[in-house]
Amino acid sequence: MKQDLKPGKIRCDACPVMCYIADGKSGACDRYANQDGTLVRLDPLTIVQTPDRKLVPFMPSDREDPWDGDIIKGARPFVTAVGAGTTYPDYKPAPFIVSQDIDGVDMVTVVTEGIFSYCGVKVKIDTDRHIGHECDVVRVDGEPVGHVTTSEYGSKMLSLGGVEHLTGGSKKEGRVTCDALMRLCNREAVAMAIGEAGDETEVVVQAGQPPIIDGVTENLMRVGCGSATIGMFPKQWIGHVDEVVVVDDHITGVLSEHETGKQLKVPATGIKIKGRRSTPGRYFQVAEPGTGWGGTDIDDPLTILGPFNPKMAWEGLRLLMVSTTGEQYAYFELDADLIPQIKTVPEPLKASADLIAENCEPSVCSVLFMGGAGGSLRAGVTENPVRLTRSVKDSLTHVSCGGADAFVWPGGGITVMVDVLDMPTQSFGYVPTPALVAPIEFTLRVSDYKALGGHIGHIRSVDDVNRNAARHVAQNDSAHDPTARRNFRWSARG
């Protein structure tokens, strides 16, 4: 992987940048360095210890403590691509092609740190608060890095990165995008601005942590929309209040008009809600999106009410208004002019708001890396790359990223998506082309590897991997064993 072309320097050929690196220095990506004239990968190879049904000896047996203290005893090694290095150009075999016997089956794992020009992250932010409209641009350090995409239930979604920003814009846009993606994937906090200048929302995103929106740390994800909340908690309210409004930017619910209220025989109250009526007791667009009650821009819930109908309302009518997270609530009683007057919240109604809050899940940010091993990366696995794609689609080859389960998209190519929290820490790097460097492993039977034209001559036993220099991590609880039989179609045949 090196050539001596300049005195005192070696040339790294692990990516198209082809850095000349002086002794004691590292290359542009900080992943490779010149150590006494030898090109070395600076981060250790990472081995995941997967729970084993049948122990396979891995560490030398003559050591007093063969597991080196930080390893889960009784676990079997899975050599991940984290720290494995890259081969470039792509026709060369992957850095590690590792075989081991798994329950009597000869398996091989092809391990490489892929250079992904086509990649990005999908971010799910559990919040009702308005962070931007669909298609609003997301900026980091003033550079566009992605956009707001379709909201999901109780969550806002961002689509960040991709070639459009990595290579399709200015040099600075590409560099900032690459850096933001890498930090997000390595679980670091990234501050971003969403929307037009002067009307931006500042959001800090970090995988596994609550979002910080305009300086406020989000606490809870809503229990459901306003309509769903009416349907979930009516029995907490009947007998204690005459009307309930659950304020929500999506669907605001009204108990007396809702089918729930009808079935529980809640009398009409003559309430009037501003907004577009959908079906009975369900209203859209009661206010603008914002960071107030239920993801609207209001701080005073009465602003969404019109005058009560005097033919139906009565003096003393009891009204509870509550948000979809139960964090905001207020209690009113109508005076002689049918105007709501705020009162102390009765204890049972406070308990109902607390119950809504208790049923809300903590708000977190989820970061999923998405990348395509569409063409070149596959050549490090086989001389006939399309056969690898077919093998993956045929469930003969299992794809993992840093040992974590990767969802493989249907259709052409090998486009994967993986939760960065399932991966070992510091799994991601970059090269200044710019592109993200991410681990990817292909696991299959040796016989299948032969059949698809794999680099058979480069297979080495897992026992030949320098395990003393490796970083050993426990497998994530939520991840499957990448070598487990159930991952493969042939296991169905016994």
**Contact criterion met (CB below 8 Å) for 294 and 227:** no
Show contacts with ligand SF4 in window 166-225 (CB under 6 A).
none
413 burial class (0-12, 13-18, 19+ CB within 10 angstroms)? middle
Cβ proximity to ligand SF4: between 90 and 422 the closer is 90
Q: Is 95 in the site for ligand SF4 (CB under 6 A)?
A: no
Quick one: which segment of 12-20, 220-228, 416-424, 479-487 binds ligand SF4 (CB under 6 A)? 12-20
Candidate residues 10, 32, 78, 131; the one interacting with ligand SF4 per rule CB under 6 A: 32
Q: Which stretch binds ligand SF4 (CB under 6 A): 26-34, 48-56, 129-137, 142-150?
A: 26-34
Task: Among 10, 12, 180, 228, indicate the residue that binds ligand SF4 (CB under 6 A).
Answer: 12
Residue nearest to ligand SF4 (CB): 27
Work out how close the CB of 17 gets to ligand SF4 at its nearest, in angstroms, rounded to a whole number.
4
* Residues contacting 295, CB < 8 A, separation 6+: 127, 128, 129, 130, 222, 248, 249, 250, 289, 324
**CB closer to ligand SF4, 13 vs 218:** 13
| In the complex, least distance from residue 413 CB atom to ligand SF4, rounded to whole angstroms | 24
> CA separation (Å) from 35 to 2, 4, 8, 9, 39?
12, 13, 11, 10, 6
Question: In terms of residues, how long is the chain?
Answer: 494
Cβ burial of 169 (10 Å; 0-12, 13-18, 19+) is middle
Cα dist. 126→164, 253, 491 in Å?
26, 21, 38
* Pick from 429, 423, 440, 380: nearest CA to 26: 429
Closest contact distance (angstroms) between CB of 85 and ligand SF4 is 8
Of the pair 221, 436, the CB lying nearest ligand SF4 is at 436
Q: Fill in the DSSP letter of residue 279.
A: S
Nearest distance in Å: CB 92, ligand SF4: 14
Q: Assess 10 for contact with ligand SF4 (CB under 6 A).
A: no
Phi-psi region of 400 (alpha: psi -120 to 50; beta: other; left: phi over 0): beta
Measured from the CB atom, is 27 or 146 closer to ligand SF4? 27
Contact 401, 438 (CB under 8 A): yes
Smallest gap from residue 96 Cβ to ligand SF4 (A): 16
Choice from 2, 9, 17, 456 touching ligand SF4 (CB under 6 A): 17
Among 2, 9, 22, 28, binds ligand SF4 (CB under 6 A): 28
Write the burial class of residue 481 (CB in 10 Å: 0-12 exposed, 13-18 middle, 19+ buried).
buried
Inter-residue contact 80 to 404 (CB < 8 Å): no
Per CB under 6 A, the list member of 2, 23, 25, 31 interacting with ligand SF4 is 31
Residue closer to ligand SF4 by CB (options 18, 56) is 18
- How many residues in the shown chain lie near ligand SF4 by CB under 6 A? 13
Nearer to ligand SF4, 11 or 393 (CB): 11
Q: How far is the CB of 31 from ligand SF4 (least distance, A)?
A: 5
Instruction: Tell me how far apart the alpha carbons of residues 288 and 255 are, in angstroms, rounded to a whole number.
Output: 22
What phi, psi does 341 have (nearest 5°)?
Answer: -115, 130
Q: Does 27 bind ligand SF4 (CB under 6 A)?
A: yes
> Which range of residues in 11-19, 128-136, 159-167, 326-334 is near ligand SF4 by CB under 6 A?
11-19
Token output for 165: 């920003």
Q: What is the dihedral of CA 304, 307, 311, 317, to 10 degrees?
A: 70
Which range, of 25-33, 65-73, 138-146, 341-349, touches ligand SF4 by CB under 6 A?
Answer: 25-33
Q: Which stretch binds ligand SF4 (CB under 6 A): 23-31, 164-172, 198-206, 224-232?
A: 23-31
Q: Which of 4, 7, 10, 15 binds ligand SF4 (CB under 6 A)?
A: 15
Q: Does 14 bind ligand SF4 (CB under 6 A)?
A: yes
Cβ atoms of 38 and 2 within 8 Å: the answer is yes
CB of 32: closest distance to ligand SF4 in angstroms?
Answer: 4
Q: Which of 29, 79, 123, 438 binds ligand SF4 (CB under 6 A)?
A: 29
Contact of 19 with 30, CB cutoff 8 Å: no
Site membership for ligand SF4, residue 123 (CB under 6 A): no
Give least dist CB 27 to ligand SF4, A.
2
Rounded distance, CA 185 to CA 172, Å? 20
Q: What is the CA radius of gyration of the chain?
A: 29
**What is the number of alpha carbons within 13 Å of residue 397 lying toward its C-beta?**
30
Chain residues 424-483 in contact with ligand SF4, contact rule CB under 6 A: 431-432
Residues that bind ligand SF4 (CB under 6 A): 12, 14-15, 17-19, 27-29, 31-32, 431-432
